[in-house]
């Protein structure tokens, strides 16, 4: 198709319109319980138009819920980076380390967040009130760190021998080789890992909140499902998608800055 | 006593089965201030020889001594200019040079080190490009940065590993003149490795041919008794230059003819058969016979 003026705006709008239409038809025909787009908007209006209002523990504006979720994600994600990046470096630098830990990493990597969460809750049982938050953080961190680990390891292995030879000829100390050569050379790979990790962290948050019942987008979603308010489920899904999309775009911007270096 | 000396150095690569000896019994003695060019075929082991001189790889046998002291590892006393420049792409020209200066002269003050770096950036005529990053520079400019970075370390020996081989002919001629000028200025001991006999004769005091590999070794030296500074245009008409070029080329060709060697290697033949268009397409694409890459042992006779 030939490009025309404003195609970047009009074409996506057409796409959205098609999906809304399908949604409308579905709710009128085979899925009678599915609220129509109009009903969804009517029921969600209050949450969208007063996004920061707090009416009760589980009855708050949608952006307020999003904010709680983001804080939890930020904490878990930070733990994932702090733990994952050094592991990635060790994997990239040491063959022995790789041989020792790579099998176990490959086994742990595909485990679903839904499987980790109960373990997280058990681990922090002693923490009392904090248990659900710590369990959620544990789950986010352990699920989202793998892309960072793997990409950092690949990046370290991909550092050209030439750069290492420069470090050798200059007799750079181990620390200086790390900070002046290895880390800058690995940064583009690391940021790809960071972006993928953030995507996963955001995926996990919903599962974590659903199971722990914490206030947040995911917790709200689950509560409204139990309360049979299906309109709000759709509101939550849209919010989760939009926020995830924005996070990914932001990280891409950061990533592309390091790509050119 | 020679300044830099290689004694019966040999080096082989590969596991026991397909072990190839790259260098065999290499001996070389270089005086202080001498400019020696080593000329050889591609793949003859030139870069291996240079890496041994720089200390990046250890020889299997033999020793490398500088000022009578045996050398074990790499160090800034032997400044290596890499074939592929090896500049750090995230640093600017000035920062690349500063990295070397800061490392080699930690005792100097910040201002002294900055001045020192600037001096060498100016020496290679790159002052206007000092804040650019390597990817913004041409190949010739990158190699000049690499030369500046190496010279700024004040190395006892300057090792040039085919520094101009990746450049076009005009840039190459330009940089050859620049190397000759800097050398005249710095009175440095230089070892140049090249595959171009003309370049070797133009720049060096002595040209040493490296015989064709495997089992390459250094041949007899050719003293280049042409006066400095050498002018490339005048040189083309000099009978002495032509004779040297003839002799060196002759020697290298001869060394290749004397050789009857075989190399055995494992080759992986990739699976690149074209798709058979006569087989009809299904929903899942075109069904095709199972194929896989094939590994074969191949023995090749080298340069007979």
pTM for this prediction: 0.75
3-state secondary structure of A60: strand
Q: How confident is the model at residue B304 (pLDDT cuts 50, 70, 90)?
A: very low
Per the structure, the count of domains in chain A is 1
DSSP structure class, residue A126: G
Residues B275 and B183 in one domain: no
Residues B178 and B123 in one domain: yes
Residues B242 and B296 in one domain: no
Which structural domain, as residue segments, surrounds residue A102? Answer: 67-259
> What is the percent of chain B with per-residue pLDDT over 70, rounded to a whole number?
84
Q: Is A20 a member of any domain? A: no
Residues B238 and B266 in one domain: no
A169 in contact with B, Cβ within 8 Å = yes
Average per-residue pLDDT in chain B?
Answer: 82
Residues B32 and B84 in one domain: yes
Residues B187 and B269 in one domain: no
Q: Is A243 a member of any domain? A: yes
Q: Do A163 and B54 touch (CB under 8 A)?
A: no
Per the structure, the count of domains in chain B is 2
Q: How confident is the model at residue A146 (pLDDT cuts 50, 70, 90)?
A: very high
Residues B146 and B290 in one domain: no
Q: How confident is the model at residue B210 (pLDDT cuts 50, 70, 90)?
A: confident
B65 in contact with A, Cβ within 8 Å = no
Which structural domain, as residue segments, surrounds residue B214? Answer: 4-257
Residues B195 and B273 in one domain: no
Q: Do B99 and A261 touch (CB under 8 A)?
A: no
Cα separations (Å) of B143 from A35, A248, A261, B88, B173?
68, 39, 19, 12, 13
Q: Do B99 and A180 touch (CB under 8 A)?
A: yes
B76 in contact with A, Cβ within 8 Å = yes
Residues B293 and B169 in one domain: no
Q: Do A162 and B82 touch (CB under 8 A)?
A: yes
- CB-CB neighbors (< 8 A) of B90 in chain A: 184-185, 187, 261
Q: Is A11 a member of any domain? A: no
- CB-CB neighbors (< 8 A) of A172 in chain B: 103
Q: Is A214 a member of any domain? A: yes
Q: Do A169 and B90 touch (CB under 8 A)?
A: no
Q: Do B103 and A166 touch (CB under 8 A)?
A: no
Q: Would you state the pLDDT for residue B284?
A: 62
pLDDT in tens, A9-50: 888 899 999 999 998 888 888 888 888 888 888 878 777 777
Which of B53, B58, B76, B89 to mutate against chain A (most A CBs within 10 Å)? B89
A184 in contact with B, Cβ within 8 Å = yes
B106 in contact with A, Cβ within 8 Å = no
Q: Is A1 a member of any domain? A: no
Residues B48 and B110 in one domain: yes
Q: What is the torsional sign of CA B201, B203, B207, B208? A: negative
Residues B104 and B231 in one domain: yes
Q: Do A169 and B103 touch (CB under 8 A)?
A: no
Q: Identify the CATH number of the domain in which residue A251 sits.
A: 1.10.3720.10
Q: Is A43 a member of any domain? A: no
Q: Is A54 a member of any domain? A: no
pLDDT in tens, B71-95: 878 888 888 888 888 889 889 999 9
Residues B251 and B185 in one domain: yes
């Amino acid at each position: 198709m030939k490009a025309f003026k404003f195609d970047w705006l009009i074409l996506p709008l057409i796409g959205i319109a098609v999906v809304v239409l399908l949604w409308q038809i579905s709710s009128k025909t085979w899925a009678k319980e599915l609220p129509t787009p109009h009903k969804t908007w009517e029921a969600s209006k209050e949450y969208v138009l007063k996004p920061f209002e707090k009416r009760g523990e589980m009855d708050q504006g949608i952006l307020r819920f999003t904010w709680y979720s983001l804080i939890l994600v930020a904490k878990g994600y930070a733990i994932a980076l702090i733990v994952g990046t050094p592991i990635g470096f060790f994997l990239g630098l040491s063959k022995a380390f790789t041989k020792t830990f790579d099998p176990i990493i490959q086994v742990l990597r595909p485990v679903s967040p839904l499987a980790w969460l109960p373990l997280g809750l058990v681990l922090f049982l002693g923490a009392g009130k904090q248990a659900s938050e710590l369990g959620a953080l544990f789950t986010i961190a352990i699920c989202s760190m793998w892309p960072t680990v793997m990409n950092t390891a690949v990046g370290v292995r991909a550092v050209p021998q030439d750069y290492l030879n420069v470090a050798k000829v200059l007799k750079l100390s181990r620390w200086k080789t790390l900070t002046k050569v290895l880390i800058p050379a690995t940064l583009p790979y690391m940021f790809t890992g960071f972006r993928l990790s953030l995507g996963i962290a955001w995926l996990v948050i919903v599962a974590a909140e659903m199971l722990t019942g914490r206030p947040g987008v995911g917790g709200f979603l689950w509560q409204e499902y139990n309360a049979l308010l299906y309109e709000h489920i759709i509101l939550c899904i849209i919010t989760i998608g939009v926020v995830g999309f924005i996070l990914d775009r932001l990280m891409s911007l950061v990533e592309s800055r390091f790509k050119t270096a | 006593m020679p300044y830099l000396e290689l004694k019966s150095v040999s080096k082989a690569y590969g596991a026991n089965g397909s072990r190839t000896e790259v260098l065999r019994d290499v001996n070389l003695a270089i005086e202080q201030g001498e400019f020696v060019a080593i000329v050889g075929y591609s793949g003859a082991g030139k870069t291996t020889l240079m890496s041994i001189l720089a200390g990046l790889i250890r020889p299997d046998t033999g020793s490398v001594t500088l000022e009578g002291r045996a050398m074990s590892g790499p160090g800034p006393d032997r400044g290596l200019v890499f074939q592929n420049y090896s500049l750090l792409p995230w640093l600017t020209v000035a920062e690349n040079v500063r990295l070397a200066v800061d490392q080699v002269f930690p005792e100097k003050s910040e201002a002294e080190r900055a001045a020192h770096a600037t001096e060498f950036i100016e020496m290679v005529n790159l002052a206007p490009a000092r804040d650019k990053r390597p990817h913004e520079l041409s190949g010739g400019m990158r190699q000049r940065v690499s030369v500046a970075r190496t010279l700024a370390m004040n190395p006892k020996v300057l090792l040039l590993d085919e520094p101009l081989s990746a450049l076009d002919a005009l840039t190459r001629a330009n940089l050859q003149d620049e190397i000759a000028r800097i050398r005249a200025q710095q009175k440095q001991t230089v070892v140049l490795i090249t595959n171009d006999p003309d370049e070797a004769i133009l720049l060096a005091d002595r040209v040493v041919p490296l015989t064709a590999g495997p089992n390459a070794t250094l041949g007899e030296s050719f003293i280049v008794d042409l006066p400095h500074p050498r002018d490339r245009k005048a040189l083309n008409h000099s009978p002495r230059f032509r004779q040297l070029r003839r002799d060196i080329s002759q020697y290298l060709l001869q060394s290749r003819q004397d050789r009857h060697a075989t190399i055995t290697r494992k080759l992986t033949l990739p699976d690149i058969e074209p798709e058979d268009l006569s087989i009809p397409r299904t929903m899942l694409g075109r069904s095709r016979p199972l194929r896989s890459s094939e590994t074969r042992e191949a023995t090749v006779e080298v340069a007979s």
